[in-house]
Structure 1
Amino acid sequence: VNDSSRRRSLVMSILNDNPSRYIDVLSQARLNEDVEVVHYAATAMAQISAKEDLALQRCRNDYLQHRNSETMLERYCDALERYVNSGIAQGYALQLQKQRYAEVLQERLRKHGDYHVACRLAQMQIDLGLFDDAAHTIDGAMERWPDQGDVWLMRLRLDAARNDGDALRHTVQQIESKHIYLGGQGRRALRFWTGTKEAERA
């Protein structure tokens, strides 16, 4: 939107609607050249952040007071996932919540986790640069779910994050030789790494 009055009108309509639904738009608006638009967007993001921080803190308190409750564990885990992926937090605040998210995922995996939890944990460890921890998580997941395509794709992501071409090629070979089922999105990811159409048959 090039017209300044329309930009301001758009931001104001977002503020009067439900700002939490437009976090991506508000984040972009904070970089606008229009000072007034930047002010409105920054104010809205600060309000959203304060609200979400409070909700997350309440969820954390409930979890800490009921450490043996699987319901509270799952609720806090899901709340952290939404917060981390929301785009609200930045810098140190985001890193802190990512670390807490990884810790809660570890606890959830120890108690009753499935391969979805293991993959979420491995991805968060990769995002945090904890490659050795991610490798440990993936190794454990492969022992428990050796034929699960999502786990193998997570191994590929770790190999790529480490810039380990030899390991990545070895993982691709294993996926193909073991005939691991990956599904449509997984086949596209594998095709990207192989650079061929061989992944269509995996």
Structure 2
Amino acid sequence: MEIRLGLVILIFYLLLCLGFYLFIRKKFAFPAYYIIFICGLPLIGLLLIGITAATRQAASGRIDIDSDEDDIKQEGPSDRELIPNDEKDSKNLISLEEALLLKNSDLARDILLDIIGENPEEFLDLFYLARLNEDAEVVHYATTVIAELSRQYDLKMAQMEKAHAKEPNNLEILAEYCNLMDAYIKNAFVTGQMAHSLRTDLISLLEKKIRLKESLVDYANLVEHLLSVQNYDRAQTYIDYMMQSWPENENPWLLQLQLFLGLQQGDEAVALAQKMKEKNIYISAENREIVDFWQVA
């Protein structure tokens, strides 16, 4: 559409130039080749823009290559482990966090502008942190991004709510709706009573999804939300079922430990951790620290 419009404007311009030349030629004796300069003016502008863009692209390419080489030279073994070369997002994440902690507003603004155009949802925690910054511009950028992400989630939530209402037993729609609502809550787009109400709705949807098709992941997610609203009795019922159905999986054991901690039952937590050790329950690396703590308590 834009190309067609541009061609129409160009043709109109050329016709206008030709008509103007014929009109002027009656009063003044201009050579015919003068019209080439008039008609070629837009093309000269496009040519200059193309040359400028190519020059800047080449310059930016050299800068990126040089900066990458400098990064490789300066990185030690620990730096390579901390910031993998093939993970640009992780590099931005660490750089932004350091800039915010060091209160380097200029650097924070530059990094914020870089990651806003990539995938800002991956850096949402840091946008919340940036919103507490002393620099007004950093706060503005962070607040704007959070508000825009929240708006997009609101629109998607409304669409999924309508889709689920039309097909309440469609498992695919229900799964997408649950995942969206779970992300909406965990990203803290709503807080307080609104979050509690939305979490209650999600619990009902997860229970419905489990009735249609059982899944360990759904049970674990359901129990986590029940613990968040401090509904310990219902959470215990589902944990008991998970223990029977998946006795060697770490999820029911970790959820049981979380329930004991929520009820401030330290002795039961210690006994459970010891039992996990006796039964050789495999614990993933991210959860091993808390289990080891209660095993030696």
The two structures have a TM-score, normalised by structure 1, of 0.83
CA–CA separation in structure 1 for the residues paired with 2:276 and 2:131: 44
* Counterpart AA for 2:128: S
Look up the SS of the partner of 1:147 in the other structure: coil
Superposed CA offset, 1:79-105 (max 9, x none): 222222334333333333322222211
Identity over aligned pairs, percent:
25
Kindly indicate whether residue 264 of structure 2 is the aligned counterpart of residue 163 of structure 1. yes
Q: Which residue of 2 aligns with 1:58?
A: 159
In the TM superposition, 1:87-102 aligns within 5 A as 87-102=188-203
Maintained 8 Å contact 1:63/1:76 = yes
Structure possessing the higher relative contact order (Cα contacts under 8 Å, 6 or more residues apart): 1
Report the alpha carbon displacement of residue 43 of structure 1 after superposing the two structures with TM: 1.8
Indicate which of 174, 181, 202 corresponds to 2:281. Answer: 181
CA–CA separation in structure 1 for the residues paired with 2:201 and 2:124: 22
Maintained 8 Å contact 1:23/1:87 = no
Maintained 8 Å contact 1:81/1:101 = yes
Kindly indicate whether residue 174 of structure 2 is the aligned counterpart of residue 86 of structure 1. no
> Which stretch shifts more, 74-83 or 27-36?
74-83
CA–CA separation in structure 2 for the residues paired with 1:184 and 1:18: 28
* Counterpart AA for 2:132: L
Indicate which of 121, 131, 138 corresponds to 1:30. Answer: 131
Kindly indicate whether residue 220 of structure 2 is the aligned counterpart of residue 135 of structure 1. no
Kindly indicate whether residue 116 of structure 2 is the aligned counterpart of residue 15 of structure 1. yes
Runs of 4+ off more than 6 Å: none
Look up the SS of the partner of 2:152 in the other structure: helix
* Counterpart AA for 2:131: R
Between Structure 1 and Structure 2, how many residues are aligned?
195
Kindly indicate whether residue 169 of structure 2 is the aligned counterpart of residue 68 of structure 1. yes
Maintained 8 Å contact 1:149/1:180 = no
What runs of 5+ residues in structure 1 fail to find an aligned partner? 197-202
> Which stretch shifts more, 124-133 or 2-11?
2-11
Larger of the two Rg values belongs to structure: 2
Superposed CA offset, 1:11-65 (max 9, x none): 3333344433321221111101112221222122111111111112211221222
The two structures have a TM-score, normalised by structure 2, of 0.59
CA–CA separation in structure 2 for the residues paired with 1:74 and 1:84: 15
RMSD: 2.3
Look up the SS of the partner of 2:247 in the other structure: coil
CA–CA separation in structure 2 for the residues paired with 1:39 and 1:181: 48
CA–CA separation in structure 1 for the residues paired with 2:243 and 2:119: 43
Indicate which of 109, 131, 134 corresponds to 2:210. Answer: 109
Report the alpha carbon displacement of residue 173 of structure 1 after superposing the two structures with TM: 4.3
Q: Which residue of 2 aligns with 1:199?
A: none
Look up the SS of the partner of 1:160 in the other structure: helix
Q: Compared with structure 1, are the counterparts of its residues 181 and 46 closer, same or farther at alpha carbon in structure 2 (3 Å cutoff)?
A: same
Maintained 8 Å contact 2:174/2:205 = yes
Maintained 8 Å contact 1:150/1:182 = no
Maintained 8 Å contact 2:223/2:255 = yes
Look up the SS of the partner of 1:183 in the other structure: coil
Q: Which residue of 2 aligns with 1:152?
A: 253
Q: Compared with structure 1, are the counterparts of its residues 111 and 36 closer, same or farther at alpha carbon in structure 2 (3 Å cutoff)?
A: same
